[in-house]
Amino acid sequence: MKVIRLRPGKERSLLRQHPWIFELAIARGSADPGETVRVESSEGQFLAWAAFSPSSKIRARAWSFDEKQRIDASFFVATCSNAIRARGRFGIQSNGVRLIHGESDGLPGLIVDRYADTLVAQFTSAGVERWKDVIADALLAATGLTKLYERSDASSRTLEGLAETTGWLRGEGAVELLLQEHSWQLAVNIAEGHKTGFYLDQRDSRKRFFDYCQRLRFERVLNCYCYTGGFTVAGLQGGAAHVTSIDSSGPALAKAAANVALNGLAPERASFMDADVNASLRQFAEQGRTFDAIVLDPPKFAPTVAHAERAARAYKDINRLAFKILEPGGVLFTYSCSGGISADLFHKIVASAGCDAGVDGFIHERMGGAPDHPMTIHFPEGEYLKGLVVMRK
C-alpha cells in the first residue's frame, strides 16, 4: 500500500473527518489516478484511506477513517447500500431521488439519481472512476434495477485529468422519462438535461412555491431562469393566475411549455420569453410592470470562493431589479447554487440589494437542497444550495 505523508499541522482537518486532502498539505508520496493510499500525519499516525488524484488540487479524497477498513468491492457494496437505504427514511414525494450525494454519503465524486426505473450516475473524481464497474454493479444490486446511464460530462472531471463520457453503462432504454413530483409531472431527458437530467435539489422549494401560490393566489408570477418550467408548473398548479417564464434557451422554453400542457394546465395562463433575465428585469422596471411573486433561480455564478466577489455583484444586481418590480406584499423566492457563496454571504447580498432598491421585506423562510442532497456535520461544503423567501413590506 502506497503511503502519503502530510506536512506538520496538516492533519487537523482529517482528524475532524473532513474528506479532502489538498496538494500543499502533502509532504511526500504519490500514486496512480484513483489508487487507494494510506494517509499519515508527519509523525506517521494513520489518518485515512483515500483515493489519490495526481491532477487535482484536491490531491486525495478520503474513503474511510477506520484503519481496519479494507477498500475493496465489499466496501463499495456496503456504502452504496447504506446510502440508498437512508433515502427510504426521507419521505420523498417523487419517483426522482438523489441516491448518492458524493462526500456526504462517503463516496467522494459520485452522484447518482434515480428517475423511475433508471439510474443516472456522474463519476467526477479519479477514485470513483477507478472503481466504476464495481460501483455500477453495486448500485443495480441495491436498487434491483437494470438500467444505468452515465452522465460523466461535468467540467470538474477535467480537473481530475478525466475525459468526459456519457452513455449507457448498464442496460439501455428510453432517455425521455416522466418525473412524478408531488401533484404534478415533468418530462426529463437524462441524456441532454442539466446535471443528471433535472434539478432534483429544488423539489421541496417547488412544493413551497406551490403552497404560497395556493394560499396567496398570486395574479402575476415571474419565473426567471425557468429552464424546463419546474417552478412554472408548481405555480400554476397552486393557482397562480398567470406565470411569465424567462430563459435564454429556446429548447428549454419549449420543454417548459410542453410540461405545462403535460399537466393539463391552460396554455393562456403561461407565457414564455426567450431573453436575457437582467435585460428583461430592467425592461419591466422601465415599463412599470410589476409582479406578485418572483422566482430567481440562476445558474452557478461562483463555482469556487475565488469567484465569489464577481458573483456577489451579479446576484445583487438581479435581486435589486427583482425587488424593484415586486409588488408590496409580494413574495421573492431567491436562490444561489454557488458553492463559493455561503448562506451568510447570500443573505447579506440580498439585504444589500433590497437597500439599493429602497425596499424592505420579511424573511419568511430559509431554503436549502432537498433532504436527499444532504449536508453532513463533517462536510459543510455540501451546503451548496441556499435560498430565501422574502415578502416585500
| Active-site annotation, residues | 337
Please name the amino acid found at residue 280.
Answer: S
DSSP assignment letter at 381: G
| Alpha carbons 357 and 326: distance in angstroms, whole number | 11
Helix axes 230-237, 203-216, angle to 10 degrees: 30
CA distance linking residue 118 with residue 151, whole number of Å:
13
Q: Contact, 50 vs 125, CB < 8 A?
A: no
As a whole number of angstroms, the distance between CA 243 and CA 47 comes to: 54
For the chain, the 3-state helix, strand and coil shares in percent, each to the nearest 5, are: 35, 30, 35
Q: What is the DSSP string of 286-331?
A: HHT--EEEEEE----S-SSGGGHHHHHHHHHHHHHHHHHTEEEEEE
Strands (E), the chain: 3-6, 20-22, 26-28, 36-40, 46-52, 58-64, 96-101, 110-115, 118-123, 147-152, 165-170, 176-181, 184-189, 220-224, 242-247, 270-274, 291-296, 326-336, 361-368, 386-392
Q: What is the distance between the alpha carbons of residues 203 and 370, in angstroms, rounded to a whole number?
A: 6
